[in-house]
Amino acid sequence: MRNPYRTQKIAFFLLLLATLLIVVPVGLIVVIIIQKGLPAINWQFLSDIPRQGMRAGGIFPAIVGTLYLVTGAIIFALPIGLLTAIYLSEYSKDNTLTRLIRLAIVNLAGVPSVVYGLFGLALFVIFFKFGASILSGSLTLGIMILPVIITASREALESVPHSFREVSLSLGASKWQTIRHIVLPNAIPGILTGTILGLGRAAGETAPILFTVAAFYLPQLPDSIFDQVMALPYHLYVISTQVPNVNEKVRYGTAFVLLALVLCMNLIAVIIRSKFRKKKKW
Amino acid sequence: MRKVKEFIIEKLILLCGLASILFVTLIFLFLLKEGIEVFKSVGFFKFLFGKSWYPISEPPQLGILPLILGSLLVTIGAAVISIPIGIGCAIYIAEIAPQKLKEILKAGIELLAAIPSVVLGFIGMVTLVPLVKSVFHLPTGLTALSGAIMLAFMAMPTIVSIAEDAFYSVPKTYKEGALALGATHWQTIWRVLLPAASSGILAAVMLGIGRVIGETMAVMMITGNAAVIPHSIFVPVRTLTATIAAEMGEAVVGSEHYFALFAIGIVLFVISFAINVTADLFLHKRQ
């Protein structure tokens, strides 16, 4: 007869191995990028335009471009996402419409990023005639991060205890007053977390901006929202596949800046979340 | 007056709620508007099962079978690697790891989910690709295999986090009952928890695969981009997503090639729609 405890030992060892197979490479990736990317970072790299066909100089226009795009995306996605979340958590009833909305959100989250790129190209760039511009790119990214914001905000709103609402309503406040003055203030940390995660996602995506805004090489800052810009993820793609003989330092440096930007946003979100959990009074 | 205000606000919020439906519909309509042309001119089956993709030859040959097979090969490879490892990791985190380690592991998985795909693609190019090349003595490391390994990695966070949730949602009494009957911890996991969590795990696997099929940048950077029918996993391939990303920049707006790329978009949209709806059904069943 097999010894069940020995089987358990072997099984647990294999499970540990599977876990290590995921976590160790993740650690390695981060370590490699920090180790090789950090030495490339200096003030000149961050504040100069790319030079010598992007083989030297800095990445300033790409950083600025990404910041513009992310800001634009959030300006568009936050109001719509938040109101959708309010609808789902406060107003909706359990009916077909609600199920349809939920299904639509699930699907928005699952649509491949390059398909968003196609959509942005067809709708914003060509149909609305915005051209390849910050506006087109921001709207495309905004729609893409909508599900992230909706899901997080909805969870935050729903975690506010029901009794809070009942007390407010019983004191004569209207439904909207209750939401505005009682539910929303208590849900802010959760909404903030979701928004920042959305920002991180928008900053790192390449495929949706390929045909809607990203410029291959544009060593100047944009004047209006109808200009093209360079963007960090696309710039990394370009210098690692499209341009031959790029100095390794420039590539790792760019990867480091992009990764640092995205991870910082995630870190902030995690900190807000855990602080909120500790302070939670209910 | 207050009633009117409430009424307006409520309708405004409802309108925003409907925005998601609007966007999904718009995405589908605009893909269709631009892509339907090809289904008419080339023919639906000839487009899907045509064996050659030469979009800029005269006349253009627009058969996406090589691309479908490329996507399929990479996806199956990624699934074979990521499903056992991902589920194993989920079990370890949900059941075995001590509380402190659990937090660290979860943070690691979240970290992986946060890394932009273009960064992973870049790292894959400088580490994985030369490794595959030297281990298997290949003329190039830019192969379906490299893509499959990379994608497996990218599917892990999805699989692990959803499968882990599935384990948590199994009622505690199941586990206590099995343990009380004298089963070992592993027997409990294998015979009780795993079957009880199966629909959630299935959803995790499907969503992981959905992520793999839709992934674009990393795959474009490390699979070699050869739009021919692959005969083994050690040759360069090109996926559906990479084709759109790589060729749309050069396609002339309004050309047959341009419409064909949108038609590929339709195919991808339909696949992801089917996967997400089914996975959602499984997740719902559990509750």
Q: Tell the CATH topology of A59-279.
A: MetI-like fold (1.10.3720)
Say how many CA atoms lie within 13 Å of B18 toward its Cβ.
7
Q: What's the gap in Å between the CA of B275 and the closest CA on chain A?
A: 9
For residue A28, the one-letter residue type is L
What is the complex's ipTM, to 2 decimals? 0.91
Preferred mutation among B2, B6, B13 to probe A, highest tally of A CBs within 10 A: B13
Q: Which residues of B touch A114 (CB under 8 A)?
A: 214, 216, 241, 244-245, 265, 268
Secondary structure of B177-214 in HEC code, one letter for each residue: HHHHCCCCHHHHHHHHHHHHCHHHHHHHHHHHHHHHHH
For residue B71, the one-letter residue type is S
Summarised one tens digit per residue, pLDDT across range B180-212 is 999 999 999 999 999 999 999 999 999 999 999
Place of tokens 């592991």: B105
Tokens of B32: 């269709």
Q: Strands (DSSP E) along B3-76, which ranges?
A: 53-54, 61-62
The DSSP code sequence of A200-217 is: HHHHH--HHHHTTTB-SS
Q: Where are the domains of chain A?
A: 59-279
Closest CA to A50 of A215, A219, A249: A219
Q: Are B95 and B167 in contact (CB under 8 A)?
A: yes
Query: Is the peptide bond prior to B236 cis by the omega test (within 30 degrees of 0)?
Result: no
Q: Which domains does chain B have, with CATH numbers?
A: 53-286 (1.10.3720.10)
- Determine, for residues A146 and B20 on separate chains, whether the beta-carbon distance falls below 8 Å: yes
Preferred mutation among B115, B165, B270 to probe A, highest tally of A CBs within 10 A: B115
Q: Are B71 and B144 in contact (CB under 8 A)?
A: no
Q: Are B30 and A126 in contact (CB under 8 A)?
A: no
Digits of tens for pLDDT over chain A (282 positions)? 578 889 999 999 999 999 999 999 999 999 999 999 999 888 888 988 888 878 878 899 999 999 999 999 999 999 999 999 999 999 988 888 999 999 999 999 999 999 999 999 999 999 999 989 999 999 999 999 999 999 999 999 999 999 999 999 999 998 999 999 999 999 998 899 889 989 999 999 999 999 998 888 888 888 888 999 999 999 999 999 888 888 888 899 999 999 999 999 989 988 888 888 777 766
Say how many CA atoms lie within 13 Å of A15 toward its Cβ.
22
Tokens of A156: 């935050």
- Determine, for residues B20 and A101 on separate chains, whether the beta-carbon distance falls below 8 Å: yes
Contacts of A171 (CB under 8 A, 6+ apart): none
Query: How far, in Å, CA of B122 to CA of A195, rounded?
Result: 27
Q: Which residues of A touch B116 (CB under 8 A)?
A: 203-206, 233, 258-259, 262
Query: How far, in Å, CA of B168 to CA of B150, rounded?
Result: 28
Determine how many CB atoms are found less than 10 A away from the CB of residue A230.
28
For chain B, how far is it from start to end, CA to CA, in angstroms?
42
- Determine, for residues A112 and B213 on separate chains, whether the beta-carbon distance falls below 8 Å: yes
- Determine, for residues B269 and A111 on separate chains, whether the beta-carbon distance falls below 8 Å: yes
- Determine, for residues A263 and B190 on separate chains, whether the beta-carbon distance falls below 8 Å: no
- Determine, for residues B31 and A101 on separate chains, whether the beta-carbon distance falls below 8 Å: no
Summarised one tens digit per residue, pLDDT across range B157-177 is 999 999 999 999 999 999 999
- Determine, for residues B215 and A112 on separate chains, whether the beta-carbon distance falls below 8 Å: yes
Q: Dihedral of CA A233/A235/A240/A246: which sign?
A: negative
Q: Which residues of B touch A16 (CB under 8 A)?
A: 92, 96
Q: Are A169 and A160 in contact (CB under 8 A)?
A: no
